[in-house]
Amino acid sequence: MKIDKALEEEIQAIGDDHIMTSYDTPLRKDAFDLSDEEKIASIKKDVAHIMETLVLI
């Protein structure tokens, strides 16, 4: 159908560039309290602990 084709073309045109298409996000209010560097350091510790637990390192 013409409508389906037009919708598909619109979806393709938007692609990954969907700025402002959704007001609601899963982010918590404290999502930006830590810097990216602090988040990475915390995640590294968690991954290291998981790998040690699984006897991978």
pLDDT for 26 = 79
CB atoms within 10 A of CB 35: 9
How far is C-alpha 19 from the geometric centre of its chain's CA atoms? 14
pLDDT for 54 = 95
**Residue 48: CB partners within 8 Å, gap ≥ 6?**
57
| Ranges of each domain in the chain | 29-57
pLDDT for 48 = 93
Q: Which ranges of the chain have pLDDT less than 70?
A: 1, 15-23
**Residue 43: CB partners within 8 Å, gap ≥ 6?**
none
Token match 């995640």: residue?
43
Rg (CA), the chain: 20
pLDDT for 7 = 79
